[in-house]
Amino acid sequence: MSFAKPTYLTSEVNRAGRVLASSSSTPIEIDWATDVLADWRACHLYPINTFQSTLRGRVGKIDRYAIVAQRLKRAPSFISKLRGFKSMNLSQV
């Protein structure tokens, strides 16, 4: 399985976050920012999957019935958090 590598610089990711959090962004800006957010989310699949796999192996040695789950934060959750915490950057979410 191939995992995504970041396409955008951190500064671009943060700018996209500001666009998504703003109520005055244009549709073109929102389309661009949505693409950046999708890329940012995709780049986190590999680290989350690796952590979950390692944790599952370690927990399995302690309790074979333990449940380990994972999920990526959904796009609306990112946007809601950015709107609620004005000083937060998308790269920090």
Summarised one tens digit per residue, pLDDT across range 30-63 is 999 999 999 999 998 888 999 999 999 999 999 9
Classify residue 1: in a domain, yes or no: no
Residue 92 Cα distances to 27, 59, 88, angstroms: 24, 28, 7
The answer as to whether 70 is a domain residue is: yes
Query: How many domains in the chain?
Result: 1
Which range marks the domain in which residue 54 is found? 10-92
pTM metric for this prediction: 0.82
- Per the domain annotation, does 25 fall within a domain? yes
Percentage of the residues of the chain whose pLDDT score is greater than 70: 99
The token pair at 48 is: 């989350």
Is 3's pLDDT higher than 80? no
Which pLDDT score, from 0 to 100, does residue 5 have?
A: 85
Dist. CA 31–CA 77, nearest whole Å = 17
2 found inside a domain: no
Does a structural domain hold residue 45? yes
Asked if the structure places residue 5 within a domain, the reply is no
| 80 within a domain of the structure (yes/no) | yes
Structure tokens at 45: 């699949």
pLDDT at 83 exceeding the cut of 70: yes
Residue 3 within any structural domain of the chain: no
For tokens 């396409």, the residue is 7
Tokens standing for residue 51: 């952590």
HSE of 64, CA atoms in CB hemisphere, 13 A: 0
